[in-house]
Amino acid sequence: MKILKKTHSTFYALGLLAGIVFSLSISGCGKKDKGTADLKKGLHVVDGKYLADDCGNKVLLRGINMGNIYAARFGQNELEEIAQTGANSVRLVLTREYQDWSNGGAMTALSGSALEGMISSCISKGMIPILELHDFTGTGNVLTDLPKAVAWWTKPEISTLLFRYQKSIILNIANEPDNGTAHASSYKTANVIAVKGLRDAGYTCPIMVDAPDWGKNHVFFLENGNSMMDADPLRNLIFSVHAYWPVNGAFGNYPDSWLNTTMNNLANSGLPIVIGELARADIQNNIAYQINYSLLMSRCQTQGIGYLVWWWGFYENPGANNQLSMTNDGLFSGLHGAGKAMAVTDANSIQKTAVKACRL
């Protein structure tokens, strides 16, 4: 979601890309600890088409985005509440550093132990942890910033931990790493290189790639998804589209006819597509432009496409809540309006359609 956009210093793209690829190739970072070579064990993409679990069952992601990095105790209380929806997955919002209010607000590196706490909590509740790095949201240069994301995922403290959970996790390289300025060829190149870097480092788990243009450009996957899948030596990718498509928006209108056509095209692509962010509205210039989320949920259900609602809400950090928070107190009992509909009451809500994965 673009409301958490951050800015970052810029480096020369080719130099960084070369450096990442070279350093990975000579270091073999974590290869000795990487997960099983049998990709049919644990979560895996079948024939480049759909996500399956350890028992070979198709998994339709039905989950919620949670801003763990902004929550007290990294969202442990909120994860307990999310589990009451019956969600089978949680997309965990992470940053390389966070403001540690227990230490006067000092910027502090996210540790492997903190990350493990979030992962183990999700798994214990039957929810697939989808780990996403939020630092490069809305970047103007995907070629320089995705290598930084790869560098963080392949840090020994992080990679050694995640290799132990490869059967149970999905790794989302970076959240919305394009502000709409990237050329399709550059965006594809940056992601193909990033996937290669992660594979060379030892990651065998499914890797999730966000669409360009703040995650909204679904056409990119229709045109490039198959070749990107072929470029992954494990053919183990998931393609995430963020459905900020308001009925009447300040920057575009998306009527029901357009939504129906788009969902048909995504389903007919044969690719493992997920609506990685599904919200009740798109916030443009601080105005909420409504999205027909109920129609999107219905089409996801009938066409076998996963969805993850943006986003839960905060219990001990209520100041982090905003217009799209499903609950303003971080509690299941605090679900309201569209948030309650998406989680519980809609005919195609999480609670009514989620099926847990086998043996996380």
Separation between Cα atoms, residue 173 and residue 342, nearest integer Å: 26
pLDDT in tens, the chain (360 residues): 654 433 333 333 334 444 443 343 333 333 434 444 467 789 999 999 999 999 999 999 999 999 999 999 999 999 999 999 999 999 999 999 999 988 888 999 999 999 999 999 999 999 999 999 999 999 999 999 999 999 999 999 999 999 999 999 999 999 999 999 999 999 999 999 999 999 999 999 999 999 999 999 999 999 999 999 999 999 999 999 999 999 999 989 999 999 999 999 999 999 999 999 999 999 998 999 999 999 999 999 999 999 999 999 999 999 999 999 999 999 999 999 999 999 999 999 999 999 999 999
Closest CA to 111 of 122, 99, 124, 97: 97
SS (H, E, C) the chain: CHHHCCCCCCCCHHHHHHHHHHHHHHHCCCHHHCCCCCCCCCCEEECCCEEECCCCCECCCEEEEECHHHCHHHHHHHHHHHHHHCCCEEEEEECCEEEEHHHCCEEEECCHHHHHHHHHHHHHCCCEEEEEECCCCCCCCHHHHHHHHHHHHCCHHHHHHHHCCCCCCEEECCCCCCCCCCCHHHHHHHHHHHHHHHHHHCCCCCEEEECCCCCCCCHHHHHHHHHHHHHCCCCCEEEEEECCCCCCECCECCCHHHHHHHHHHHHHCCCCEEEEEECCEEEECCEEEECCHHHHHHHHHHHCCEEEECCCCCCCCHHHCCCCCCECCCCHHHECHHHHHHHHHCCCCHHHHCCCCCCC
Q: Who contacts 262 (Cβ-Cβ below 8 Å, separation ≥6)?
A: 218, 245
> What was the pLDDT predicted at 10?
33
- The CA-atom distances, in angstroms, between 264 and each of 168, 189, 269 are 30, 27, 9
Sorted by where each starts, the structural domains of the chain and their CATH numbers stand as 41-353 (3.20.20.80)
